[in-house]
Amino acid sequence: MPDDRYPPIADHAVVGDGETAALVGLDARIGWACLPRFDSPAVLASLLDADRGGRWDLPVEGVTGTSQRYVEDTAVVVTQLRTADGVLEVTDVLAVAGEFEEKRSAARQTLLRRLRVVEGRVRVASDLRGFDGAAVDGARVPLPGGEGGRTLRLRSSRPGAEAHELVAGDTWTLALTWAEEPEVWTPAEVDAAIEETIRVWRSWAEHVTYSGPYVDAVRRSAITLKVCDHHVSGAVVAAVTSSLPEAIGGERNWDYRFTWVRDAAYTVYAMRRVGMVEESDGFLDWVLDACTHDDGRPDVLYTLDGHIPGEEQDDDRYEGYRGSRPVRWGNGAAGQLQHDVYGEILDCAWQFVRAGGQVDDRRFDRLRHLATLARENAETPDQGIWEIRDAGRPFTYSVAMCQVALDRFARIARATGREESALEWEEAAEALRAELLERAWSAEDGCFTEHLDQPGTLDASLLALPLRRVVDAADPRMVATTAAVVDKLRAGEDLLYRYLHTDSPDGLEGEEGAFLLCSFWWVDNLVQSGRVEQARDLFEKLLRRQNHVGLLSEEIDPENGEFLGNFPQAFSHIGLISSAVLLDRAAG
């Protein structure tokens, strides 16, 4: 049964400043905020424990209806609360100043809330409390990595925490700040900061170049990726939340406030296609710095600073979203073997070179080292793209991405004038490709399969093979594989599971929802194999999955359409952008 203490995940908008983010509910509750950074402790976390988790409520007497919208081309959200006597408008913003371009912006390290009665009269209070009801004003929150901490301070333009009766035209401003030198935040200063933040976002949004038929969805997705972009380091977090469940009541609850190497190449591709060049270059630099700084094996995911996350820990203090335990901080996948990382890094490096980036001998040698690791480990079992918590297996996708590593390194060598190396690695890439396509093909099943030399199982990562140029989407074998994946993993008209746990054990209990990115991969395969109208129909069904402000989660419950998993999910918005661009190109 639904737990009324927990609003649907979809009933939220996200605000961000390039350092952290907060979720604002349709009821104006802020039930998630990690301060002062994405990967800091959760100061507000009622999404993970409605009673103890910490929240910032604006209790309004007699609410009869709510609505929510973004100020156009911004991450500034406006929530309206209606009563029989009036209408309250709440503007929420993580304040920024300067410009986003070329890292000339500055997070003002303040969460601003402006309450304004636009009609009639409204009685409203401010109720801010941390974990177990602890006072937030004056609390000290540590920075990740043991780098000291920040003190939280609350500034209010009206005295006390009791309810105030406001009439049309009245405002009440609130500022929760963790800046080292906090400002006073008078109402006039709050108004000015909100207008400045709107100006900064709109100035940045002018650089989003997509103008096709899905412009609203693409621009909102681009802004959402920008919210996930850590402007200091260039890293992009997978999502701003931790432990929102992939199935209600289940254990598939993970901390996504880190940067996955796997996401990098997809993210860079999507960003560059819609004009987010600065962010694309920043993420490329971050990936190459984090993953080629020594001659060791690259890791699967990193902190914003390019370090390995701390050990994954279960936090028994929280009951979890609608009872979905455990709540986790950190991510144990960081120590897994996932051989696709070689291809992701080399693909990023190839995009870097294509964009005019220079590769000196030192970096070239380190890229060669990664390509060598890919060649040596291509057929070694690993935990795969889906990060199974079970014994490793020879996943087709992992081998395919090792082939991508060899191919992209060969391209880098040729593009940078290293002809002898180019020839050697081109031959190695083609040999691995031929072996992969032979051993992954099952004549019995009539399609490529999830593992080498193991017929009978499928997973949706096979849909990514054409996207990484391992096999053409129009190749009859790939067309047959796409049809088989859809037939086996379909979860409704427009949704796909990643895999079936009954066929592909992953070491975890319970089930999960349909994975949205896989549906966008399905769209891409249809486009690239010439079935454009079918792809467009599927894509438009997926657009109807967006919430009221255009955001997407990681997964969808096929039974009821509810959002599942961490939110908003960068990968889902990357998929949306890529599919929209492909459809636009197919239409000429």
Average pLDDT, the chain: 94
The 10s digit of each residue's pLDDT in 221-274 is 999 999 999 988 889 999 999 999 999 999 999 999 999 988 887 888 888 889
Paired tokens of 22? 């907060």
Residue 171 · residue 185 · CB < 8 Å: no
For the four alpha carbons of 241, 279, 409 and 430, in that order, the dihedral sign comes to: positive
Question: What is the model's pLDDT at position 207?
Answer: 92
* pLDDT at residue number 357: 85
Residue 2: the pLDDT is 64
User: pLDDT band for position 286 (50/70/90)?
Assistant: confident
Residues 178-227: pLDDT tens digits?
Answer: 998 888 999 999 999 999 999 999 999 999 999 999 999 999 999 999 99
C-alpha 203: how far from chain center: 23
Least Cα distance to 238 among 14, 467, 566, 555 occurs for 566
**Poorest-confidence range of 95-109, 312-326, 336-350?**
95-109
Residue 32 pLDDT greater than 90, yes or no: yes
The pLDDT of residue 540 is 98
Amino acid 146: pLDDT: 65
SS3 string, 425-487, reads HHHHHHHHHHHHHHHHEECCCCEECCECCECCCCCHHHHHCCCCCCCCCCCHHHHHHHHHHHH
Q: Report pLDDT for 160.
A: 74
Mean local confidence (pLDDT), 49-57? 96
- As to burial, measured by CB atoms within 10 angstroms (0-12 exposed, 13-18 middle, 19+ buried), residue 148 is exposed
Given pLDDT bands bounded at 50, 70 and 90, which one contains residue 290?
confident
Q: Which helix (H) or strand (E) holds 520?
A: helix 516-528
Query: Which of 385, 400, 364, 394 is CA-nearest to residue 301?
Result: 385
Sorting pLDDT into bands at 50, 70 and 90, what band is 295? low
Instruction: Output the pLDDT for position 297.
Output: 83
Q: Please give the residue that has the higher pLDDT: either 293 or 351.
A: 351
pLDDT of residue 147: 66
Tell me, what's the pLDDT at 102? 63
pLDDT of residue 293: 66
pLDDT > 90? residue 515: yes
Q: Compare 147 and 165 and report the one with higher pLDDT.
A: 165
273 within 8 A of 202, measured Cβ to Cβ: no
68/89 Cα distance (integer angstroms): 9
pLDDT in tens, 397-432: 999 999 999 999 999 999 999 998 899 999 999 999
- Give residue-wise pLDDT tens across range 384-395: 999 999 989 999
Q: Report yes or no: 289 and 306 within 8 Å, Cβ to Cβ.
A: yes
Task: Calculate the alpha carbon distances from 24 to 11, 15, 33, 522 in Å.
Answer: 8, 8, 9, 32
Torsion sign over Cα 9, 247, 262, 491: negative
Determine which of 282-291, 358-367, 480-489, 559-568 has the lowest per-residue pLDDT on average. 282-291
The residue type found at 17 is D
% of the chain with per-residue pLDDT over 70: 98
Reply yes or no on whether the pLDDT at 487 is more than 80. yes
Question: How far is it, in rounded angstroms, from Cα 398 to Cα 527?
Answer: 24
**CA–CA gap between residue 472 and residue 528 (Å, rounded):** 8
| For the ranges 85-89, 140-144, 354-358, the one whose mean pLDDT is highest | 85-89
What does DSSP assign to residue 311?
P
For range 167-175, the mean pLDDT = 98
The helix, strand and coil proportions of the chain, stated in percent and rounded to the nearest 5, come to 35, 20, 45
pTM, full prediction: 0.96
Contact between residue 336 and residue 387 where contact means Cβ atoms under 8 Å apart: yes
Token pair 């900061």: residue: 193
Identify the helix (H) or strand (E) that includes residue 113: strand 105-124
What three-state secondary structure class fits 72?
coil
What is the average pLDDT across 528-546? 98
At 472 the pLDDT is 97
What was the pLDDT predicted at 294? 65
Q: For residue 555, count other CB atoms closer than 10 A to its CB.
A: 31
Region 332-347: what's the mean pLDDT? 92
- List the one residue out of 342, 419, 428 whose CA is nearest residue 380: 342
Mean pLDDT, residues 538-563? 98
**Residue 288: what pLDDT?**
81
> If you average pLDDT over residues 111-129, what whole number do you get?
97
